[in-house]
Structure 1
C-alpha cells in the first residue's frame, strides 16, 4: 500500500477491473434504491465518504503505512476535493434521474470531454481521429436522448435534465482525471483517496443534519451496502492500476453497462430500449478510438524523446 510500482500482472489487473465494474454498477443500483426510499443525496455521499475514510485510514494503520499520508500539496488535494465532492452530487444525481443503463452509458462520455478540455484549457492540437471520435460519441448521446425511438411507455424516463446532469458529471470526471494525473506524479494513490475523503467528510458532516432523515433498518442496510461498495470500488480501481496498463484495463470498465442493464431489468423492471443499443456503441466506440490514439501518440512522443536524447549524446 505504499504506492510503489508493482510487477506487471496484466491478468490480475484485468480481473480486478472487471470486479470494479461489477461493484460500481452494484453501487449505482443501491444509490437508486436508496433514493426511492427517501434517502437524500447528502446522506448517501456522507456515508460513502465517511466509510471510505475509515477503511483507508484503518488499512494504512494496520499495515503501518500512515506515513504515506504526508503531503506537501494540501492545496492541490483541497482543489481535487472540492471538484470531486461537487462531481459526486452530479454522478449520484444522474443515477437518480435516469435509468441505470442510460446513466452508465452517458458516464462513458468522460473521454470525449477529456479531449475537449485538453484543447480548451491546455491548447493541445487534436487531429482527425480524435475529432471524429468526439463527434461520433456525442451523436450517440443525441440518439439516447430520443425517447420516441425507444418504444413503449418507459421511453419517457429519459429527460433533458437527467441527460444534462449525466453529461456535467462526465465532464467533471474528465477534469478530475487531469487533477489526479498531476497528483500521481508525487503522491501515493491511497494518499489521494485519503485526503479527498478527509477534506470532504467534515464539510458533509456539518450540513448532514439539514438533510438527514429517519429510515427503517432495511433502508439503512441499503445505505451501508452502497457506501461499502463505493469504498471497495475505489480501492479495487486504485489497486488495478498497480498491476496493469491503464490503456488496457480501462477497456474493462465498459462491462459495467451489462450489469447496469441487468440490474435495470431485474431490480427496477425496465428493459433497455432500442435507443440505448443504438447510442451506446457510438459512445463506447468513440472512447475506444480515443484510448487507441492516446496510446499511439504516447509511443510517438516516447520515440521522439529517445531520439532527442540519442542525438544529444
Structure 2
C-alpha cells in the first residue's frame, strides 16, 4: 500500500498535536518504567521483549480497524528486517540510557537525534547542508557539553556514551525509514518492526527470562501497552499534519521525564542540564525549520 500523498491528506493540526503529545507522554512513562523495572531485577532483554510482544496485538488491532489487515502485505521484507535490526539496537540503547542516567538527562541527550540526522544526511545521502544547519549542529553539541560537563563527573561516562550512541543509531533509522516511506504505509512499517523484533528477542529470553512478582509483571505490562499506544499515536499524528507541525511536541519529553524523575526518585536537573537542554532543543527545532524551508524551496541555499 503506497503512502497517501501529502496534498491529499486531511489537515487537522490541533488533533495531530494532541496525538503527538499523548505519544510523547506514553514514551516518557515507558522509559521511566524501564528504569523502575531494572531496579526490580528485570534484564533489559526482558523489557525489550515485553515491550514488543505486548505492543504487537495493540498495533495489529489498530491496523485492522483502520487500513485493514490486507494492508500489511509487503514486498520489501529485507528492508523491514534492516529497519528492525537498527531500530531494535536503538531501542535497547535508549532503554539503557534511562537506566544509567537520570530521566531528564537521558531525554535531553536523546534530543541530539536531529543533529546526527543532519550529519548522516550530509555524509551518506549527500544532501546539501549549508552554514545554517551546520551552525545548529555545533550549537547542539555545545549544549551537550554544557549539560554533561565531562570534567566535573556529574554523570557516569558510560551512561553519557550510551545515550549519545542511542541518538546516533536512532538517527540512522530515519535513513531507512525514508527509503521505506517511498512505498510503505507508516502503519505497515510499525507492524513489521514490531513483529520481526519478537523472534530474536524470544531467543534472548531463553537466557535472560525469569519469573517476577505481581508488581514487576505489572510494570512489564505497562511498558508494552504504553509503548504500543505511543507507536500508534506517533503514526496517526502524521496522518493529520506534517512533521514540522507536530515535531515541537517531542521536546515536551523534558517536562514529563523531569516530573516523573522528581516524583519517583527525587531527581531534579541541575542548572547546567536546563541550559544544555535549551541549546539542544533550539538546535533541533532550527534544523526542523530548515528542513521545512528546504522542502518548500529545494533550490534555495540550505
TM-score range, shorter chain: over 0.9
The yes-or-no answer on 1:15 pairing with 2:18 is yes
Conservation of the 8 A alpha-carbon contact between 1:106 and 1:141:
yes
**Match for 2:294 among 293, 297, 303?**
297
State the partner residue of 1:117: 120
The yes-or-no answer on 1:24 pairing with 2:27 is yes
Q: Distance in 2 between matches of 1:227 and 1:166?
A: 22
Q: Distance in 2 between matches of 1:208 and 1:67?
A: 31
State the partner residue of 1:192: 189
Q: More deviation in 229-238 or 193-202?
A: 193-202
| Equivalence map 1:149-168=2 (5 Å) | 156=154, 158-168=155-165
Q: Distance in 1 between matches of 2:118 and 2:22?
A: 27
The yes-or-no answer on 1:65 pairing with 2:68 is yes
**Match for 1:48 among 48, 51, 63?**
51
State the partner residue of 2:108: 105
State the partner residue of 1:89: 92
State the partner residue of 1:308: none
Structure 2 portions without partners, runs of 5+:
none
State the partner residue of 2:138: 135
Structure 1 portions without partners, runs of 5+:
150-154, 305-313
Conservation of the 8 A alpha-carbon contact between 1:106 and 1:167:
yes
Q: Distance in 2 between matches of 1:64 and 1:133?
A: 38
Shift of 1:189: 1.4
Do the aligned partners of residues 120 and 302 (structure 1) sit closer, same or farther apart at CA in structure 2, a change above 3 Å counting?
closer
State the partner residue of 2:277: 280
Shift of 1:124: 2.3
The yes-or-no answer on 1:218 pairing with 2:221 is no
Do the aligned partners of residues 171 and 223 (structure 1) sit closer, same or farther apart at CA in structure 2, a change above 3 Å counting?
same
Q: 3-state DSSP class of the match of 1:267? A: helix
Shift of 1:296: 1.2
Shift of 1:89: 0.9
Conservation of the 8 A alpha-carbon contact between 2:58 and 2:225:
no
Q: More deviation in 116-125 or 83-92?
A: 116-125
Q: 3-state DSSP class of the match of 2:104? A: helix
The yes-or-no answer on 1:238 pairing with 2:241 is no
Shift of 1:303: 8.8
Q: More deviation in 50-59 or 233-242?
A: 50-59
Q: 3-state DSSP class of the match of 1:122? A: coil
Conservation of the 8 A alpha-carbon contact between 2:2 and 2:182:
no
**Match for 1:229 among 205, 213, 226?**
226
Higher alpha-carbon Rg: 1
Shift of 1:275: 1.4
State the partner residue of 2:204: 207
Deviations 1:123-176 (A, max 9, x none): 223211111100010011111112777xxxxx73x1111111111111111111
Taking only aligned residues, the RMSD between alpha carbons, in angstroms, comes to 2.0
Q: Distance in 1 between matches of 2:67 and 2:139?
A: 48
Deviations 1:62-89 (A, max 9, x none): 5681110111111110110111111111
Q: Distance in 2 between matches of 1:253 and 1:272?
A: 19
Do the aligned partners of residues 302 and 52 (structure 1) sit closer, same or farther apart at CA in structure 2, a change above 3 Å counting?
farther
Q: Distance in 2 between matches of 1:120 and 1:68?
A: 34
